[in-house]
Amino acid sequence: MSIHPTAIIEEEVQLGAGCVVHAYAVVKRHSVLGDGVIIHPFAVIGGDPQYLKFDPATKSGVRVGAGTVIREHVTINRSIHAGQATTVGARCFLMANSHVGHDSAVADDVVLANNVMLAGHVTVGGHTFLGGGAGFHQFCRVGEGVIVSGLARIAQDIPPFTMAAERNEVIGLNLVGLKRRGFSRETIREIKDAFRAVYFTSGNIRAVARASLEGGAFKSAEARQFLTFFTEGKRGFARARREGLAGEDDAG
């Protein structure tokens, strides 16, 4: 473990083996950092949530998984609820000036590029990349294996294994990411078929996804994960850009 001069670590903080806290970084009370977490200068972990009704006496915190790197000026706010925590998973990379709002849940192997803004209660699935300056409305869900372009404005849920851009636009499947993770051609083909079933069928998107699940045509866990995403959540869903969809001509 390495704690540099002028770093501030408050009481009731847990630091895992091999953590590095650079100069001028701040780790607030009730934060828990896994092994090998690196925090660069001027980052603030566990600061009070940006919530007008918040009581600072609330005992809540932040949990960061092993091997995550937190660059300069990153802020991760603690939960607004007693006994709960804002969470960032293992092996994540939070680039400079990115922000994780209170009660958000960021899964493992996620990259937040510079200036990404996650409002409160946002969930981000594993193996996802969020481009620089992208902003996410409170309670949005971003599925596993998603890529979001820089400066995107997201106020609706983004389904797993897709690419999103601009304002709530799904522009295709993240085929490069699927291949890099070793997904089989058969699995990718099923995900593409599930994508078409949801986005190219008229009717209520939740009902279409539910009917596709119940129909039994989709066998792979990943295709069913894609469809199940549309049966959950509190917000609406990002819609597909019909023209020029990426990845619609070749499964691999």
The reply to whether 103 belongs to the active site is yes
Strand partners, 38: 20, 69
Q: Which of 102, 121, 127, 137 is catalytic?
A: 102
Of 23, 24, 26, the C-alpha closest to 9 is: 26
Give the per-residue SS3 of 151-218.
CCEECCEECCCEEEECECEEEEECHHHHHHCCCCHHHHHHHHHHHHHHHCCCCCHHHHHHHHHHHCCC
The reply to whether 4 belongs to the active site is no
Neighbour-count burial for 99-120, b at 16+ CB within 10 Å, e otherwise: bbbbbbbbbbbbbbbbbbbbbb
Q: Which of 120, 125, 143, 247 is catalytic?
A: 120
Q: Which of 40, 65, 99, 103 is catalytic?
A: 103
User: Could you give the CA distance from residue 142 to residue 64 in angstroms, rounded to a whole number?
Assistant: 19
The reply to whether 157 belongs to the active site is no
Active site residues: 102-103, 120
